[in-house]
Amino acid sequence: MAFSLPALPDWFSKKATSVLGVDIGTSSIKVVQLRREHGRVVLETYGAIALGPYAGQEIGRATALPAEKIAEALKDVLREANVTTTDAAVAIPYSSSLVSVIKLPAGIEKNLATVVPIEARKYIPVPINEVLLDWFMISDPKHPSPDGKIEVLLVAIHNDTIAKFRSIMTESQLLPSFFEIEVFSATRAALDHGLAPVAVVDMGAATTKFYVVERGIIRESHIINQGAQNLTLAASRALGISVAQAEERKRKWGLNDPPPTPGAAPGPSLKQSLELTLSPLVAEVARTALGWEQRANQALSTVVLVGGGATLKGLQDFLRGKIQNEVRLGDPFGKTQAPAFLESILKEAGPEFSVAVGLALRRLQELG
């Protein structure tokens, strides 16, 4: 299912450049088209489409589709969302990449191009010529750590992954301006420019990613092998209904119990099933957050929820009772201008579109 903004009035200059953020997940594809107008970022259209049906499965299911099937779905959502630009920025799944902070001796800043690929061999389990390697200086070289080290953020993406995503873009007639690991896109859209460390919890269909972001830098990352799909499958078993019915009820009611059915026998409720399945995931998030705080001797100011799973009704309140830190939902569309009547819809859908919005925001920044 795709959805898009209705046709907007011609408020915009024809010379303004539109850009597209493309987030290809395991259970859906999300696209967001933005343009800059008079210094404002304007939302032109957005859309999402479930990948389950393209794999002969239910909506909400995680998939492992070949490139040609993904391209088919992408073309469908581009058409249904009335996307009008080919200038695209594309997310690479975190699971297909390596992100690590490495420490190097101070004073070698001018030789990083030589030093980093050599040092990267210690962290990357495949030959260096099989990955696209990038790095960013984190430390101020004039102020190294007490042990005389500087910190460098190392990023690696396998060449096969880049080739797959390039083929999807070519088949979809999009022109990718860059590929970016999803964590950077999500944090750009969901976070403000603050100094205090923040945890970002990205709940996808198959996995949940936990990131600690400080001063815009990814300080720690952790993958939890549970996601929104687990909630659906558990509800299907507990309630004795089909996976499709469970997904529909989960989306409609979330952690709020639906009205009782007259004459129905008592039994496990949707809310009970979801809470039971969520509890181990939430406990792992809380444990990971506390572990980082203890190691860093710093408190996380906020836990920000993004990803499709974060749109589960009642999740924010449920987490507030389980996690010490402040919990809030990502609001990426809050950084864009859109018709007022869409405000509540965009706020509710926002967490799912964090990556796609973040991609488009970076592309607009590049264009100036």
pLDDT tens, position by position, 262-297:
655 556 789 999 999 999 999 999 999 999 999 999
Q: Which domain holds residue 131?
A: 96-159
Distance CA 285, CA 67 (A): 32
- The answer to whether position 281 is within a domain reads no
Residue 263 has what pLDDT? Answer: 56
pLDDT at residue 93 in the model: 93
Q: Report if residue 45 sits inside a domain.
A: no
CA–CA gap between residue 176 and residue 198 (Å, rounded): 30
Please provide the distance, in angstroms rounded to a whole number, between the alpha carbons at the two ends of the chain: 34
Question: Is the confidence at residue 12, as pLDDT, over 90?
Answer: no
Let me know if residue 309 belongs to a domain.
no
Domain membership of residue 361 (yes or no) is no
| Widest Cα–Cα separation across the chain | 76
pLDDT at position 192 over 90: no
Q: Tell me: pLDDT of 73 over 90.
A: yes
Task: Name the band, by pLDDT with cuts 50, 70 and 90, for residue 24.
Answer: very high
Q: Are strands 198-203 and 208-214 parallel, antiparallel or unpaired?
A: antiparallel
pLDDT in the model for residue 3: 37
Q: Is 37 exposed, middle or buried (0-12, 13-18, 19+ CB in 10 A)?
A: middle
Number of structural domains the chain divides into: 1
**Is residue 367 domain-resident?**
no
Would residue 19 count as lying in a domain?
no
Domain membership of residue 112 (yes or no) is yes
CATH label of the domain that carries residue 144: 3.30.1490.300
80 has a pLDDT exceeding 90: yes
On whether residue 114 sits in a domain, the answer given is yes
Q: Which residues contact 200 (CB under 8 A, 6 or more apart)?
A: 183, 186, 187, 190, 191, 209, 210, 211, 212, 213, 303, 304, 306, 330
**Percentage with pLDDT > 90 across the chain:** 67
- Kindly tell me if the per-residue pLDDT of 313 is higher than 70: yes
Structure tokens that stand for 91 in this block? 């997310």
The model's pTM is 0.89
What is the distance between the alpha carbons of residues 307 and 330, in angstroms, rounded to a whole number? 9
The half-sphere exposure of 351 on its side-chain side, counting CA atoms within 13 A, is 22
CA distances from 100 to 24, 116, 123, 154 (A): 23, 12, 8, 5
Q: Is the model's pLDDT at 181 over the cut of 90?
A: yes
Q: What is the mean pLDDT of residues 64-74?
A: 97
Tell me the per-residue pLDDT of 323-359, one tens digit each, with 9 for 90 and over: 888 999 999 999 999 988 899 999 999 999 999 999 9
| Segment among 95-104, 163-172, 190-199 with least mean pLDDT | 190-199
Residue 98 has pLDDT above 90, yes or no: no
